[in-house]
Amino acid sequence: MSQPFQPFRLVVEALGVDRGGRRVIEGVDLTISAGDAVLVTGPNGVGKSTLLRALAGLGRPVNGSVRFEADGVGDPDEVGRHVHYLGHRDAVKPALTVRENLAFWQDFLGGEGGAPVEAALEVVGLLDLADLPAAYLSAGQRRRLAVARLVAVRRPLWLLDEPTAALDAASEMNLVRLMTDHIERGGAVVAATHLAIGLAGTRSLRLVAGETA
């Protein structure tokens, strides 16, 4: 569908992150290269979301570093512009239409190489609702609109935090297919999810209270 990504590596070294004055992530070492799929698992409250946020460059790590290394990347510390972060909240404005919501993020995050807005909405099955204010969408449809962002804006690394929350079975399958396509094109996915991704080379990163294994 679109161009393969050039090889890249996300290098995480001795990462430590505090949340609410408490050390949540301690000493995480991780390298994610093109074509990787990493599932972050662990019990509630162990720091899966905090880890993904730290990888996306949200919140400053207490120690350690997250670097994005690839040819032509000037500043490896500027991780944010190479990743997609799909958090718990969908970043959907109820007052804007479905199309306006997606078009804004495409313009704001940079649409080069991504699918056009209509095509991205088609992929997640929201094209019929394109001109409806997002206030009328169900939770699952809002989630699909957030997923459409992954298609409309081209970024090599996807950080997905419980991406299947509120999605029905068909949309889940669709998301897995999108992730598979993305990985085949040389992208990488880090997901905090219980979803089984049918892909060779899926790694699992299990967080346990107090340390990582």
Partner 1 sequence: MPPLVALYVRELRLSVRIGGGALMGVLFYLIVVTTFPFAIGPDLNLLSRLGPAILWIGALLATLLGLDRLFEADRDDGALDLMVASGQSLELLVIVKVLAHWTATGLPLVVAAPFLSLLLAMPVDVTIATVATLLVGTPALTFLGAIGAGLTVSLRRGGLLLPILVLPFAVPVLIFGVAAATAVAYDPAAFRTPFLLIVAVTLTAAAISPIATAAALRNGLD
Residue nearer to partner 1 on the CB measure, 111 or 125: 111
Buried b (16+ CB within 10 A) or exposed e, 153-174: bbbbbbbbbbbbeebeeebeeb
Question: What is the Cα gyration radius of the chain?
Answer: 17
* CA angle at 155 for the pair 84 and 190, rounded to the nearest 5°: 50
Residue 5: DSSP 8-state: P
Residue nearer to partner 1 on the CB measure, 28 or 145: 145
- Site of interaction with partner 1 (CB under 8 A): 19-20, 53, 56-60, 78, 80-81, 83, 85, 87-96, 100, 103-105, 107-110, 135
Q: How far is the CB of 54 from partner 1 (least distance, A)?
A: 11
Residue nearer to partner 1 on the CB measure, 81 or 177: 81
Question: Are 98 and 41 a contacting pair, CB within 8 Å?
Answer: no
Q: How far is the CB of 130 from partner 1 (least distance, A)?
A: 16
Residue nearer to partner 1 on the CB measure, 30 or 54: 54
Q: How far is the CB of 64 from partner 1 (least distance, A)?
A: 18
Q: How far is the CB of 211 from partner 1 (least distance, A)?
A: 22
* Packing angle, helices 139-152 and 98-109, rounded to 10: 30
Residue nearer to partner 1 on the CB measure, 100 or 122: 100
**SS3 readout for 14-76:** EEEEEECCEEEEEEEEEEEECCCEEEEECCCCCCHHHHHHHHCCCCCCCEEEEEEEECCCCCC
Question: Are 98 and 138 a contacting pair, CB within 8 Å?
Answer: no
Residue nearer to partner 1 on the CB measure, 79 or 179: 79
Q: How far is the CB of 168 from partner 1 (least distance, A)?
A: 21
Q: How far is the CB of 86 from partner 1 (least distance, A)?
A: 9
